[in-house]
Chains A and B, each alone.
Chain A
Amino acid sequence: MSLGIAEVAKIAHLARLAIRKEDAPAYAHNLSAILELVEQMNAVDTTGVTPMAHPLDMAQRLRMDVVSEANQRELFQAIAPRVEAGLYLVPKVIE
């Protein structure tokens, strides 16, 4: 599958990446080449093959729904770009 500039822009929006206009053609070219590579899969009929999501056939472990971690808000917020009064600051969302 070959991707055009408009499709790259749409995917970039879904991925929350601000792709510069001048870089879009190079992305379209590279992504199309990668998709062409992965489409070699289509040469094989996989009808009825059970998809393998995970290397080991194991059941997900469960644990009791209890608090296991201590509150470390100050430690974690020490590495945040902007915080105030224990809150993470972002641009205003609602006018």
Chain B
Amino acid sequence: MHKKTIAQLSAGLAAGEFSSEALTRAFLERVERFNPQLNAFITLTAESALIQARAADERRRQGAAGPLTGVPIVHKDIFCTQGVRTSCGSRILDRFIAPYNATVVEKFNAAGAVMLGKTNMDEFAMGSSNETSFYGPVRNPWDLDAVPGGSSGGSAAAVAARLTPGATGTDTGGSIRQPAALCGITGIKPTYGRVSRWGMIAYASSLDQGGPMARTAEDCALLLAAMAGFDPRDSTCVDRPVPDYAALLDQPLTGLKVGLPKEYFGEGLDSAVAQVVEEAIAEYRRLGAEIVEISLPNSHLAIPAYYVVAPAECSSNLARIDGVRYGHRCENPKDLQDLYTRSRAEGFGAEVQRRILVGTFALSAGYYDAYYLKAQQIRRLISDDFRRAFDQVDVIMGPTSPTVAFNLGEKVDDPITMYLSDIYTIAVNLAGLPGLSLPVGFVGQRPVGLQLIGNYFAEDRLLNVAHRYQQVTDWHSRAPAAFA
């Protein structure tokens, strides 16, 4: 059963071929068996999963099942889950039992999906390799010496190893798309505001967006349909109807205008990755797409602007975690100041502390104009580049990441080198656009992802463009040998 996609599992459940309880048990057994090698989970919720599965089977008997009723999924441990530890990959929230559900979790519950557990992640979603997690790194199922990418590395590894058919992730600078690429799966970061951020622990509030990760674009369409939609509890969530993504998957690509930004194919891109991406683009040409070169001239400024905007917002968001109302508190604080500073220093890891310090500096008196204001102006220039590009083309394509998965430990001591792993994904968050990564081949045994960038709220188009490719290729159905 683990070989089936969500669409196939959904059909099997509807046809009565198996129950949700049997399906859930099968995936829980796989998690028990394989997770020790991967460390993809922080918390397993086997008992409540079986309760949800039996409830889903009952709901089906009553004729009230939807497409996700009884389908197992996992949530990145950044989404608050009532009564279940929500650690965000951090020591400081190691014993934080969320008192409420994130809207995304509520929506999956309402759809009747079954939560198997909570997945590992870079601490507070700050990282590109899953090595900043308090719970240790996740390993890439394609090669256990390689990182799975980050920050949604546990979700990506769990989907790639067939420990779950689908997962949630979040993406602030590439944290859905880059691990999807490095683990050979499909993931979409929706337009900012498409999915509610309520109960999704904030890293950088003007960039964060939740989205689905699965093996195929069709499965992502089913998951996104459940996740997306207006939520009055998130003041930035957009009140706009959710299209029937699954119904729009099959539109032909004849006449589709695809732009290739020349800045995404230059220096810094691994030549073997470039070759795989070019082969994928040739496939799109055969599918009827018209390929043109475009320019996004301010692309090189995306990382510099991001490393002001994101740390500034994180320093503000994480200020509330102070050891008073929840989270880790240091032993024997001598005064209130000592309680704050030691609880935070003990609870946050090195990368999180670095970003808090950078953000605090950028927002401190005398530096605001030179850093934060400047970064917001650069952000406008980057967004304008995309606006001009979408006057000419329907979809932008390029590599998701400049290299395939790197080795564990390879970049962990050099933050700047690590940051460059997100060079093609970050601009999309700054502009607030939707982006998707799909598997298009390998370099050696490590997967390569193709990134699709669409105009605002064009998730339906991105899923369609990815789906048509997956109808004529089989990269998305390859499984890592050890987990097949």
Indicate if the CB atoms of B353 and A34 lie closer than 8 Å.
Answer: no
Indicate if the CB atoms of B376 and A52 lie closer than 8 Å.
Answer: yes
Chain A: interface residue total (CB-CB under 8 A): 51
Indicate if the CB atoms of A18 and B419 lie closer than 8 Å.
Answer: no
Indicate if the CB atoms of B324 and A38 lie closer than 8 Å.
Answer: no
Question: How does the 8 Å CB contact mask read for A37-62 relative to B, with 1 for contact and 0 for none?
Answer: 11111101010011111111010110
**Main SS at interface, chain A:** loop
Q: Of B238, B304, B361, which contacts A56 at CB under 8 A?
A: B238
Query: B120 to chain A: closest CB distance in Å?
Result: 22
Q: Of B304, B379, B456, which contacts A40 at CB under 8 A?
A: B304
* A68→B260 CA distance, assembly (Å): 49
**B333 located at the interface, meaning its Cβ lies under 8 Å from any Cβ of chain A in the complex:** yes
Indicate if the CB atoms of B298 and A44 lie closer than 8 Å.
Answer: yes
**B378 located at the interface, meaning its Cβ lies under 8 Å from any Cβ of chain A in the complex:** yes
Indicate if the CB atoms of A37 and B236 lie closer than 8 Å.
Answer: no
**Which A residues from 16 to 34 make CB contacts under 8 A with B?**
16-20, 27, 30-31, 33-34
Chain B interface extent, by class: 35 or more
* A38→B361 CA distance, assembly (Å): 13
Indicate if the CB atoms of A38 and B344 lie closer than 8 Å.
Answer: no
Smallest CB-CB separation from B206: which chain A residue? A54
Smallest CB-CB separation from A60: which chain B residue? B235
**B377 located at the interface, meaning its Cβ lies under 8 Å from any Cβ of chain A in the complex:** yes
Residues of A within 8 A of B340 (CB): 16
**A91 located at the interface, meaning its Cβ lies under 8 Å from any Cβ of chain B in the complex:** yes
**Which B residues from 263 to 318 make CB contacts under 8 A with A?**
298, 300-301, 303-305, 307-308, 315
Smallest CB-CB separation from B348: which chain A residue? A17
Q: Of B305, B356, B371, B373, which contacts A15 at CB under 8 A?
A: B356
Interface residues of A (CB under 8 A from B): 3, 8, 11-20, 27, 30-31, 33-35, 37-42, 44, 46, 49-56, 58, 60-61, 63, 72, 75-76, 78-82, 88, 90-93
21 CB-based A-B contacts, threshold 8 Å: A8-B357, A14-B364, A15-B357, A16-B340, A18-B338, A19-B345, A31-B357, A35-B361, A38-B304, A51-B373, A52-B377, A52-B379, A56-B236, A56-B238, A75-B99, A76-B326, A78-B99, A79-B95, A88-B324, A90-B339, A91-B336
